[in-house]
Amino acid sequence: MHSSSPASDVPLQVAHKRERRKDARPGELLEAALDLFVEKGFAATRSEEVAIRAGVSKGTLFLYFPSKEELFKAVVRENLARPVTEGAAELAGFTGPTSELLLHLMQQWWARYGATKASGISKLIISEASNFPELARFYQDEVVAPGTELVRRVLQRGIDRGEFRSMDLPNTVFAIMAPLIFLVMWKHSMAPCCDPAYRIDPEQFITLHADLMVRGLLKEKGP
């Protein structure tokens, strides 16, 4: 009732609606764009739709991103950085057997990336790569190369510790990663519209895939 309380002068909750929004806008737009690009592809996504889903007008979208193509690139950059950097950190502190490390990394990758909406951009890029060679190269450099390197180091660890037999590293790395990325692509393309009978449970599959790989890589036990 009495306005003598100094606290009432500071409308903490209200704040400047417009100004607050300005900071939030790019994020909101990127999220809306991610949804739609993943769902419909680059060309089939109309920029106005992105704006509407972000709760703004067409014009506002172009206030933050100069073109649909730049929006696309921003979406990719925004979502690619995460999974790689996060994943790389795990390797260092691990002390157990490499087979367990491999399983752990795969499970983490799924939980933190594959299972999230962001995994849609892997599908996106592979689908649109030929139309956006620049992005393809970016993806190669920022995701494929470091991811490959990470897995290679894990395998090397197994060899160094006498757990794994020697192997053709590049192809083995590909053999380990391909099913994971394909899983993500599948989830974003075929899975939603197809027979549940053929649906794959990711966690289960990853466990099995890791097991298969490990069995295939393990040094054969002597007699």
Partner DNA sequence: AATGAATGAGTATTCATTCAT
Partner DNA sequence: TATGAATGAATACTCATTCAT
List residues binding a second copy (CB under 8 A): 39-44, 123, 125-131, 133, 136-137, 139-140, 144-145, 148, 168, 170-172, 174-175, 178-179, 181-183, 185-186, 188-190, 192-195, 198, 200-201, 204-205, 208-209, 211-217, 223
Q: Which stretch binds DNA (CB under 7 A): 63-71, 136-144, 182-190, 205-213?
A: 63-71
Nearest to 123 by CA among 194, 191, 197: 191
170 by Cβ neighbours in 10 Å (0-12 / 13-18 / 19+) ranks as: exposed
Please report whether residue 53 would count as binding DNA according to CB under 7 A: no
Cα(187)–Cα(114) distance, integer angstroms: 9
Of the candidate residues 33, 37, 45, 83, the single one contacting DNA (CB under 7 A): 45
- The amino acid at residue 102 is L
Query: Residue 58 touches which of a second copy, DNA, none (CB < 5 to 8 A by kind)?
Result: DNA
Cα(206)–Cα(173) distance, integer angstroms: 15
The CA-based angle 133-135-138, given to 5 degrees, is 115
Please report whether residue 46 would count as binding DNA according to CB under 7 A: yes
Please report whether residue 21 would count as binding DNA according to CB under 7 A: yes
Tell the smallest beta-carbon distance from residue 130 to DNA (Å).
Answer: 15
Q: How many helices (H) and strands (E) does the chain have?
A: 10, 0
Please report whether residue 62 would count as binding DNA according to CB under 7 A: yes
Cα(128)–Cα(52) distance, integer angstroms: 24
User: Which residues are at the interface with DNA (CB under 7 A)?
Assistant: 16-19, 21-22, 25, 45-48, 56-60, 62-64, 66-69
